[in-house]
Amino acid sequence: YKAIPLLIVNDSGQCTGLFLDSPACQRWGLDQDLSGVASIELLSRRGWQLYSFGPATVAKIVEAYTVLTGRTKLPPLWALGHHQCRWSYPDEKTVRNIAHEFRSRKIPSDAIVLDIDYMDGYRVFTCCRERFPDFKSMVADLAQENFQVVTIVDPGVKKDPKYRVFTNGVKEDVFCKTASGKLFLDKVWPGTAAFPDFVREDVRQWWAQEHKFYVDLGVSGIWNDMNEPALFNNQKPLGDDVRELPNEQNQLFMQQAPEGLVGHFEVRNLYGMEMSHATHDGLIELRPNQRPFVLTRSGYAGVQRYAAVWLGDNISWYEHLAKSIPMLINMGLSGVAFCGADIGGFWQDCSAELLLRWYALGIFYPFCRNHCSLYGRPQEPWVWGADIEAKCRKLIETRYRLIPYIQSLFWEHLRTGAPLMRPLSWHYPNDAIATEIEDEFLFGKDILVAPILQRGKTMRSVYFPPGLWHSFEGGGHFQGGATHWVSFPLGHVPAFVRDGAIVPLADVVQNTAELHNSQITFVCYGESAQGVYFEDDGISFNYEQGQYNEWILTMENDKFTASVVHHGYELPSRKCAFLNKGKWCSVSLPDQRT
């Protein structure tokens, strides 16, 4: 789904990065025949640029790469919460019932995500009036319960002479055409459809303006799917055995690049990103000082400027649970910090055990969403009865307790390009064992996550980097530089905190709107420790004008100190506490005047 042609080669802690900036087809052969030779093939007739970074640490490579390609701005606070989705919640009654179940069962959640069946015949920028008779009132009522609504939007525009978006698109000449000048058409969900040429700036502006439909309904976020673009009649338009691009007459369609018309395969990997670019800009234009939330399936290098990503249509397999760790780590190393995978798996049937294991990992995904297919078993947290529900609730509550820490990680990414999910070698580059680990990861520098990834297992070996590590849920600590056998019962949070860390944790809330009135507890791990606490309004871009607060937290000789780094955001109701060695005390965070 995504094409980010960045390679980082690690040689004993010193890294070199290679970024081949071309949206055309590439093949990277990384010594697959063990001959000691690597190769890169680029199937393009256009220009290209090859960037080399380093030698440096992996952190410096990613920092430089994200200076070049951009970084994710702070997401809206609600987007850091738990999202619930299914293909599909088919009608208004079902959506309202899902929201009711979450709130009545006190399972935290912030977003309900609507797949393709909310639309009229899968026509984008429409709602089905029969199944959603008053979509706007539904969204408003959900907002009263602090639920945000996210709607899917695909690029395929149904060919229908009675459909305004299609007829207007034809009039404005925004759709892709074949080399012979005919309108390119293929089948996707609405049937025969046309496809906007998002490489063109005027087309992006046209698409951006269409999102007034969703903004007027009160929709909070947009989910861009099927935007490789996916075509039902041509799922793999360029074969693996192709050694040069076909001529223009044999490409799917033409697109208008800055130098003129080019075949689609020359710029194919830009399609999904430029669609998200248009969506992102449209939401900002329509809600100027409100952070947009865009989620995309397809993207190219730099997509992080416009959208979060998820890994696409995974399966309810333990193998896919396990693979999500190295895949999401690689997304982060490729500049895409806001990323996740469908919790529970999209295709096939999830079991109660798998769902719990997936939530135990998924609460540490930067983007946290439960999503499954119409053809599989439902997998909302309450489906398997009270015991499984209680364990899911506890895990999701942990996600919400961690949001102050997660906010600080996004703030760090904005300044340095650092991902939230990091390989152990990010902070321990000289540890040969840490370099080989791919079933654990660091969530920021202070939290180590080591989930159970196999059916029926309740224990696993965990490698701890040098230093002392404390169980996140209490009950012991582990000496680092060694592997330990650790028990993780179902519902247990599989995480450990580095000795010397101060982690800000919120009280349990039902949604992020409650966080501003929630007490924040600074939990100290170790005899002396340091941490960071960041806050702003979670909604606007005012932090870019200095309206945010940041403190350095320290604990030394049983004395807690909060030192102001910046204070530009007033939140007089904030309650804070400090926890050290099992003892609590209330604390106040100073501003620059005290």
For 250, residues 6+ apart whose C-beta sits below 8 A from its C-beta are none
- Euclidean distance between CA atoms 126 and 115, whole angstroms: 13
H helix or E strand, kind and range, residue 421: strand 421-422
CB 461 within 8 A of CB 439: no
CB 424 within 8 A of CB 445: no
130: number of Cβ within 10 Å: 8
Q: Which of 225, 266, 274, 550 is catalytic?
A: 225
- Helix residue ranges, H only, 154-256: 164-172, 201-210, 212-217
Q: Is 228 a catalytic residue?
A: yes
CB 460 within 8 A of CB 450: yes
Tokens 């995904």, residue located? 365
Q: Which of 313, 439, 514, 537 is catalytic?
A: 313
Q: Is 313 a catalytic residue?
A: yes
Residues forming beta bridges with residue 577, ordered by sequence position: 521, 586
Cis geometry, peptide bond prior to residue 237 (ω within 30 degrees of 0): no
Q: Name the phi and psi angles at 439, rounded to 5.
A: -115, 15
Tokens 């303006």, residue located? 209
H helix or E strand, kind and range, residue 396: helix 386-401
Closest residue by Cα to residue 402 from 370, 342, 444: 444
Q: Strand, coil or helix: what is 181? A: coil
Closest residue by Cα to residue 408 from 74, 58, 66, 71: 74
258: number of Cβ within 10 Å: 8
For 531, residues 6+ apart whose C-beta sits below 8 A from its C-beta are 446, 501, 502, 503, 504, 522, 552, 553
DSSP per residue over 52-116, as a string? EEEEE-HHHHHHHHHHHH--PPPPPGGGGSEEEEETT--SHHHHHHHHHHHHHTT----EEEE-G
Q: Which of 115, 154, 228, 535 is catalytic?
A: 228
For 12, residues 6+ apart whose C-beta sits below 8 A from its C-beta are none
Could you give the residue numbers annotated as active site? 225, 228, 313
